[in-house]
Amino acid sequence: MNLKKVLQSKECGSAVVLVALVVVLLSLMGLGLLQIGLSSRLLATQATNKIKACSAADAGLTKALFEINKKLKAKALSDQSLPQVTDETLPGCDATFSYKITAASIKAALGVNSLTIESVGKYGYATRKVHALIGLKGLFDSAILVKDRMSLMPNTLVTGYNSADPTDKDFDLKIGTTSTLADRIPLGPGTVVEGDVFVGIGGDPQTVIGAGGTITGNKYALDMEPDFPVITPSSLLTDWGTSLSAKGETITINSAGSGTYSGIDLSKADGNPGTLEIQGGKVVLHITGNIDLGQGCELIVRPGSSLVLYIDGDISADNSVGVNNQAGNVKDFQLYATGTGDQVFNLKAKSSVFGTVYAPKVDITLYPSVEMRGAIVGKSVTFKSGGKFYYDEALRDNVSIDDEGARFIVKRWGEE
């Protein structure tokens, strides 16, 4: 009864104040927690959005490069057809990207190296912009590139020159393998490589490269796998349904004779060698079978002419035969392996060999009597009989959009 009276009394108590104070304190702390949670969530969201926008911008640049290379391969590149997209959605994500490739003129741009890609990625309010200057890369960045073994006989000299600039004496060449197995580049005694020698990713240059010979540059392991673009002959070539055969005679092919043939067979008859003569512009041949060069026979590319040879089969050569690129311009004789099975090339020359060989799945054996000028990509390369190998730096530095296997790569990159 007394307690009831006390509770009902009009006297001021402190409990209500205390409870109110506690409630206020707890509320403030709760609000603080919410505020911090909200702030950290906002920061995290912003950071995530920026990362997504950045990824979208990168993807846009990669896609732009892919699209322009697709057009380049299809020979459909023109000032009016430069790839461009706006707000394309990044697959698996709500981010979008837009890209634009700009050049005053394709041909002019390649001359001054000013073809640019600008890519913008967006996600929410986050925007990221990247830009790149792109340029052409050919098939022959290395003097000799193999996937397996490169065998240089004793006293071989590997050096360079620049057909586009004869005054250039500061050669920058490299040879190498993508293999990491031991002794893939055995250098014979007296062999000199005036440049760098590289081995496959993770390989030990000391074990992959033989101890013999002299290397004036560096030995190192690749940090990135080189790409080996697949080369396919044009589907527009005329299929002649026959082989090119010359037995003790000379047959001449000009640009009108370009097309697909089942083989090339040159053989000696009545003491006369068979000769295939390329004369009259650019001749493109796709050989679906083998090339057999009998004793003393020759494949001659006359000055002012050029031969682009795609072959699905093997090349075999007897004694004293060869490819004779008379003008001495390495781009006048281009050989590409396009077969799906195993192929073997035996290349010989009565004198020097001028040309390029791109056959990343082929075992290649070279027998130049004097020297070879150009570049080689093969599965394995055996350089018989010593001699000299001259790498033409113009193959790397002067790539044009008409070159086989040319593709755009990023030369300079930046972001805002």
Question: Binding other proteins by CB under 8 A: which of 13, 37, 281, 304?
Answer: 37
Q: How many residues bind other proteins (CB under 8 A)?
A: 30
Q: Which of residues 113-152 bind other proteins (CB under 8 A)?
A: 132
Cα–Cα distance, 98 to 115 (Å, whole number)? 17
Instruction: Return the amino acid letter for 386.
Output: G
Under the binding rule (CB under 8 A), the answer on residue 20 touching other proteins is no
Residue 232 near residue 288 (C-beta atoms within 8 A): no
Under the binding rule (CB under 8 A), the answer on residue 2 touching other proteins is yes
Under the binding rule (CB under 8 A), the answer on residue 165 touching other proteins is no
Instruction: Report the nearest approach of other proteins to the CB of residue 33 (Å).
Output: 5
Nearest to 93 by CA among 63, 55, 62, 128: 55
Instruction: Report the nearest approach of other proteins to the CB of residue 139 (Å).
Output: 17
Under the binding rule (CB under 8 A), the answer on residue 13 touching other proteins is no
Residue 150 near residue 133 (C-beta atoms within 8 A): no
Question: Binding other proteins by CB under 8 A: which of 13, 17, 24, 40?
Answer: 40
Q: 68: which 2 tokens?
A: 């322009």
SS3 (DSSP) at 279: coil
SS3 (DSSP) at 277: strand
Between 29 and 104, name the residue whose CB sits nearer to other proteins. Answer: 29
Under the binding rule (CB under 8 A), the answer on residue 11 touching other proteins is no
Cα–Cα distance, 119 to 30 (Å, whole number)? 44
| Choices 262-270, 300-308, 392-400, 405-413 (CB under 8 A): range interacting with other proteins | 405-413
Under the binding rule (CB under 8 A), the answer on residue 93 touching other proteins is no
Under the binding rule (CB under 8 A), the answer on residue 87 touching other proteins is no
Cα–Cα distance, 195 to 214 (Å, whole number)? 10
Nearest to 82 by CA among 359, 408, 413, 411: 408
Instruction: Report the nearest approach of other proteins to the CB of residue 370 (Å).
Output: 35
Question: Binding other proteins by CB under 8 A: which of 20, 24, 32, 78?
Answer: 32
Residues with Cβ within 8 Å of 210's Cβ and at least 6 positions away in sequence, in order, are 183, 185, 186, 187
Under the binding rule (CB under 8 A), the answer on residue 108 touching other proteins is no
Under the binding rule (CB under 8 A), the answer on residue 46 touching other proteins is no
Instruction: Report the nearest approach of other proteins to the CB of residue 236 (Å).
Output: 34
| Choices 67-75, 273-281, 305-313, 403-411 (CB under 8 A): range interacting with other proteins | 403-411
SS3 (DSSP) at 232: coil
Cα–Cα distance, 397 to 401 (Å, whole number)? 13
What sign results for the dihedral spanned by CA atoms 258, 239, 252, 326?
positive
Site string for other proteins, 198-217 (x = CB under 8 A): ---x----------------
Phi, psi of 194 (to 5 degrees): -90, 65
Phi, psi of 392 (to 5 degrees): -90, 110
Classify strands 144-146 and 371-383 as parallel, antiparallel or unpaired.
parallel
Phi, psi of 29 (to 5 degrees): -65, -40
Under the binding rule (CB under 8 A), the answer on residue 112 touching other proteins is no
Under the binding rule (CB under 8 A), the answer on residue 80 touching other proteins is no
Under the binding rule (CB under 8 A), the answer on residue 26 touching other proteins is yes
Under the binding rule (CB under 8 A), the answer on residue 25 touching other proteins is yes
Instruction: Return the amino acid letter for 196.
Output: D
Question: Binding other proteins by CB under 8 A: which of 20, 36, 108, 181?
Answer: 36
List residues binding other proteins (CB under 8 A): 2-3, 5-6, 22, 25-26, 29-30, 32-33, 36-37, 39-40, 43, 47, 58, 132, 201, 223-225, 409-415
